[in-house]
Amino acid sequence: MLNQIQRVRGQVDEWERRTKLLGGDDPKHQELLGAAEALRQHLAAVEADLFQVDADKPQPSTARLKEKLATLSTMIDESDHAPTRAALEVFDSLGARVEEVQGQLRQVATAEVDHFGELIRAAGIPPIVS
């Protein structure tokens, strides 16, 4: 999911750059730029559920799903015994939360990414801008 978010964000950034290179006050271009910002914000919200994006701050916020799963995996790997019932319960809980976030990402991908693509086509922005 993190890779998918990065790929989509990179493409949104590039289309935004192309739109700005064309300049002008075309309402279609302005709509596209607004949609790019909204899509970027929604992707950031999903990413923040998955990954600690502020890890470099002096006081980062709480661990996210990726960190929690990595910690759980490390704890289980260090033991010579089968995972405890509590560890399995935590894994199930985290797995359910991952599925929720996957649903959020699917919703962003199907609704907003499709809409963004339609706006690109409507704005008539060429695929290559020099």
Is 130 among the domain residues? no
Is 70 among the domain residues? yes
- The sign of the dihedral angle between the CA atoms of 110, 115, 65, 89 is negative
**pLDDT by residue for the chain (130 residues), tens digit each?**
889 999 999 999 999 998 888 876 789 999 999 999 999 999 998 888 877 666 565 555 566 777 777 777 878 777 788 888 888 888 888 888 888 988 999 998 888 999 999 999 998 888 776 6
Is 43 among the domain residues? yes
Is 128 among the domain residues? no
Task: Provide the token pair at 96.
Answer: 């359910």
H-state helical runs in 1-130: 2-22, 27-50, 65-77, 85-107, 114-123
Q: Please state, as a whole number, how many other Cβ atoms lie within 10 Å of the Cβ of residue 64.
A: 20
Tokens 């006050």 found at: 25
Domain span including residue 86? 2-123
Is 129 among the domain residues? no
Number of domains within the chain: 1
Is 48 among the domain residues? yes
Task: Provide the token pair at 35.
Answer: 């949609």
